[in-house]
Amino acid sequence: MRQGFSLALFRLRVVWVVGVVLAMLTASVWWGATPAGSSPLLSRSVVAAPLATDGGADAAAGDSINGMMRVARLSPMLVKPSSTVTIEVVVTNTGESTISDATVSFNLMRYRMSTRSVLDAWESQGIDAIVGSHMGADELPNLKPGQSRRASISVDASSFGLLGGETGWGPRGVSLVLGGTQDGEYSARLDMVHTYLVWDSRDENAEPLLDVATTVPIVGPAVATADSTQSAVQRVEAAMEGSRLARVLDVVDNHSDVTLLVDPEYVEGLADAVLTPMTSPVGTEAGGENSDDTSTDSNDSSSGDGDTANDDNAGTDQNPDSPLNNDSEGDDPDQGDGDGDTYEPTIEQQSAATWLDTFTTLDNHEIFSLFPFDGDLAAYAAAGGTPAPISLDNYSTPAIERWKTGVASFVGVAPTLADVASSVRAGQPWVLADPGTIEESATRTFTDSAAIDVTTPAGDATVLLPDEELSQQLASPGTTNPVLARQRFAAEFAVLGKERPSERRSVVLSTPRTWDPNTDVAQAQLEAIGSLPWVTEVSLEELATNAARATDTSVAIQSPESTADPRAGLPDTTLTEELLDARAHIDDLATLTDDPAAVLPETRATLSALLSVAWRDHPMERSTLLTELREPLLAGAEAVDVSTNPDINLISTGSEIPLTVRNRFDQDVSVTVRLMPSESTLQVTDTVSVIVPAYSSTGIRVPVEAAGSGDVTVAIDILNDNGDVARSAQPFTVRVRADWENTGTLVLGALLVLLLGGGIIRTLRRGRSQKRTDAQAVHETIERVKAETEGGPAADTDGGHHQPDETAPHATPTDTKETP
């Protein structure tokens, strides 16, 4: 009997123990499996749920002063009088002793925060600050070192006692305070979190107060050459899995209201880079040195009115229409090794290709093209130049041709009037300044509209000034908690809207080019913008053209004469000016060819690459590379030239001037040579056209006419087929002496007459002999002949001067007298 009783008692004890164990296991499973926010919560209810003792993701980073508290939920984001506010906080014991009697309290400041500086001051308060009115609390079980528990507080908003209507709406300060006993001492404030509650008592039919445009740049790294394997590797690294651009795309992919400012050269270069044969650029792991995951896992965080869950879009199929999915049939020189082998992209290239495919298939985003290679507008303007114009038709990536143009993104200090004018000349009349660079009036008590109309020497422009505080919150929120970042964002917009409740204004948000977002935080912030009823999200184009303009015209846009240039990292102005001039000459000479884009393409593009914003962080290296680029650019600027003798004498009224046309390009050039004399004494009757083969010279002759005398300077213009001046060659001098021809003819004629007359006279003089008779001798001869004819003695024609032995035949010497 006693033995049976003992056995029954033993069995009863076993059943009891087993039941207790099962009950404990069931309770443990139930408590541990309850998700955040799934417990039935009543007004001012108090529920505590134990978490894993290792802290988990909730305890990874604290939001509080002492790092023991993390806000997992604050909903709804906008609190109406009929709302029920739910706050969940994860408390982690980071000390070395147990916390007992732990309590988390919810405290509310009832007065409305009316300025943005008050928001900053609220978050920067210490643990001894005033916390406001007590609204509710949650008691937690003992917390051992390293252990985490979730506290949840739910309160009806009707109990807050806040003003309603247009007067009362706006942000209020919230303090979440952890109290408890640790190391034998009770402290009402072991830790504290400051955040915001946005009271929305505004009329649901009220008009929006703010037009908001958000811009995000997508640019690549600083590349030393426009087209090389090294540049391809850099582009791939910038877009592969785990990279900064991968996180940026994760954020903007789900927010079509964000305007993207994109460098077309990076997208085009990446499309080539993912198909360029290369070895793994950063090792065997896909992440490489860029795989550091700076985002924070936020399994217990929420955006909006509920909890958010991250959606990892791994393994997304590429778009079949993407430029990366071109069918390869062996005609691509980059595919394979020429022996029929198929080129296999690296892991990094495949990852970057996925990024490119996702980006190029964004259909609902407004995308503006930046200057090629993200040209630094300040660097160009300082050298008196202009970035290369944007021509989207030159790119082979189909998505690029759908982008918009018109926006230049300025980096650094406030843009000068010369900077804005340079942008206008390049066809970009909207200049997006860096946040906070344009100093606003110190006497103004409200935030002015973002659009500022400016008149420049090159035409009208609009400077868009992003809101400094909101842009800073988006770029660097100061927290890894999406809930706190979202609440601060909503509070900022509430204060901004309340500043001018009867006036609609424009607001621009922008992120820096190096933005590396925490994806959860950034997405929560962007979702908050779209959830605010007093905000209308607009495109950047709509804001620049139609949104409200700044009412304060005293904003400082410096004049072109300003000599102050504190911009760090800009290249040498003199060298840059020389190189830009040389490239401009090459661009003009390229119009003489059938394929202008094929004229020194890498040299020209490399200059654009070196003048990108990304090179500001590498000034010394850029200076060296620009110096090395000087020689090929200057040589290219003189590749087509026309020359002749420096001094030419022209003495006839009609003649031809010989010229030599030289072509050092690898293409034939079609040249029309036009001479332009400085004086009317020399007239050019026509131009001369000629085709000069590559790497050769051709001689031509240009007909001219002289109409006077004098030294004439002749300019040489080299024209393309459209009649535009491609280059002006070195001028030369012509000594025009058109009257010398007539004068020379007269002088020569006179000389000929003189020579002819002299010759005649000389001939006559040479023909006269000393033995020739004179008139008297002739008369005497006639008389003698007459006498002989009559038979009488003839007169002595010698005048009696014969020798004694000389006697006339048949006559006797006698003295005669000349018959009168």
Write the pLDDT tens digit of every residue in 486-524. 999 999 999 999 998 889 999 999 999 999 999 999 999
- Tokens linked to 134: 């007590």
Model confidence, pTM: 0.74
Q: Cα–Cα distance between 697 and 718 in angstroms, integer?
A: 15
Coil, helix or strand for 67? coil
pLDDT for 562 equals 42
Domain that holds residue 711: 644-737
- Same structural domain, 776 and 733: no
pLDDT for 743 equals 58
Cis previous bond, 208, omega within 30 = no
Does residue 757 lie within any of the structural domains?
Answer: no
With beta carbons less than 8 A apart as the criterion, state whether 178 and 91 touch.
Answer: yes
pLDDT for 799 equals 45
- Same structural domain, 359 and 238: yes
| H or E element in which residue 747 lies | helix 740-767
**Average pLDDT over every residue of 163-175:** 93
Does residue 674 lie within any of the structural domains?
Answer: yes
Is pLDDT of 73 > 70? yes
Does residue 750 lie within any of the structural domains?
Answer: no
Select the more confidently predicted residue: 32 or 455. Answer: 455
Write the pLDDT tens digit of every residue in 116-148. 899 999 988 999 999 999 999 999 999 999 999
Nearest to 368 by CA among 452, 450, 464: 464
Q: Cα–Cα distance between 432 and 459 in angstroms, integer?
A: 17
Select the more confidently predicted residue: 107 or 751. Answer: 107
Specify the DSSP class assigned to residue 397.
S
- Same structural domain, 392 and 480: yes
Nearest to 642 by CA among 534, 731, 519: 731
Sign of the alpha-carbon dihedral angle for 679, 681, 684, 685? positive
| φ, ψ of residue 484 in degrees (nearest 5) | -65, -40
Write the pLDDT tens digit of every residue in 570-612. 899 999 999 999 999 999 999 999 999 899 999 999 999 999 9
Strand 459-464 to strand 451-456: parallel, antiparallel, or no bridges (unpaired)? antiparallel
| φ, ψ of residue 558 in degrees (nearest 5) | -65, 150
- Same structural domain, 785 and 801: yes
- Same structural domain, 399 and 452: yes
**Average pLDDT over every residue of 273-299:** 52
Which of 637, 660, 688 is the C-terminal boundary of a domain?
637
| φ, ψ of residue 58 in degrees (nearest 5) | -60, -35
Q: Cα–Cα distance between 432 and 462 in angstroms, integer?
A: 9
Q: What's the number of domains the chain is made of?
A: 6
Nearest to 177 by CA among 167, 185, 188, 169: 188
- Same structural domain, 84 and 125: yes
Nearest to 68 by CA among 76, 77, 59: 59
Strand 535-537 to strand 210-218: parallel, antiparallel, or no bridges (unpaired)? parallel
Which residues make beta-bridge pairs with 89?
71, 151
**Average pLDDT over every residue of 268-282:** 81
**Which strands sit side by side in the sheet containing 133-140, from one edge to the other?**
78-79, 185-199, 170-182, 99-108, 133-140
Q: How confident is the model at residue 7 (pLDDT cuts 50, 70, 90)?
A: very low
Select the more confidently predicted residue: 445 or 622. Answer: 622
Is pLDDT of 221 > 70? yes
- Same structural domain, 808 and 670: no
Q: Cα–Cα distance between 423 and 417 in angstroms, integer?
A: 10
DSSP letter for each residue of 520-540: HHHHHHHHHHHH-TTEEE--H
With beta carbons less than 8 A apart as the criterion, state whether 682 and 734 touch.
Answer: yes
Kindly tell me the burial class for residue 648, based on how many C-beta atoms sit within 10 Å of its own C-beta (0-12, 13-18, 19 or more): middle
Q: Cα–Cα distance between 596 and 583 in angstroms, integer?
A: 13
Beta-carbon contacts of residue 743 (< 8 Å; ≥ 6 apart): none
- Same structural domain, 159 and 215: no
pLDDT for 792 equals 52
Coil, helix or strand for 605? helix
| φ, ψ of residue 446 in degrees (nearest 5) | -140, 165
Write the pLDDT tens digit of every residue in 461-474. 999 999 999 999 99
**Picking from 3-17, 367-381, 765-779, which range would have the lowest pLDDT averaged per residue?**
3-17
Write the pLDDT tens digit of every residue in 771-813. 555 667 667 777 777 777 666 554 444 444 444 444 444 433 4
Does residue 386 lie within any of the structural domains?
Answer: yes
The C-alpha angle with vertex 354 and arms to 353 and 356, in degrees rounded to 5, equals 65
Does residue 752 lie within any of the structural domains?
Answer: no
- Tokens linked to 731: 């001028």
For the chain, give the mean pLDDT.
80
Coil, helix or strand for 361? coil
Write the pLDDT tens digit of every residue in 338-374. 444 567 889 999 999 999 999 999 989 999 999 999 9
Nearest to 462 by CA among 545, 370, 551, 555: 545
**Residue found under tokens 């408390």:** 91
Kindly tell me the burial class for residue 518, based on how many C-beta atoms sit within 10 Å of its own C-beta (0-12, 13-18, 19 or more): buried
pLDDT for 56 equals 33
With beta carbons less than 8 A apart as the criterion, state whether 653 and 689 touch.
Answer: no
- Same structural domain, 479 and 594: no
- Same structural domain, 477 and 532: yes
- Same structural domain, 655 and 631: no
Which of 615, 637, 659 is the C-terminal boundary of a domain?
637
**Picking from 212-226, 365-379, 672-686, 787-801, which range would have the lowest pLDDT averaged per residue?**
787-801
- Same structural domain, 623 and 508: no
Which of 587, 619, 637 is the C-terminal boundary of a domain?
637
Does residue 594 lie within any of the structural domains?
Answer: yes
| φ, ψ of residue 14 in degrees (nearest 5) | -60, -45
SS (H, E, C) 167-190: HHCEEEEEEEEEEEEECCEEEEEE
Which residues make beta-bridge pairs with 403?
none
Does residue 495 lie within any of the structural domains?
Answer: yes
Does residue 762 lie within any of the structural domains?
Answer: no
| φ, ψ of residue 327 in degrees (nearest 5) | -70, 130
Q: Cα–Cα distance between 71 and 54 in angstroms, integer?
A: 18
- Tokens linked to 683: 């007239």
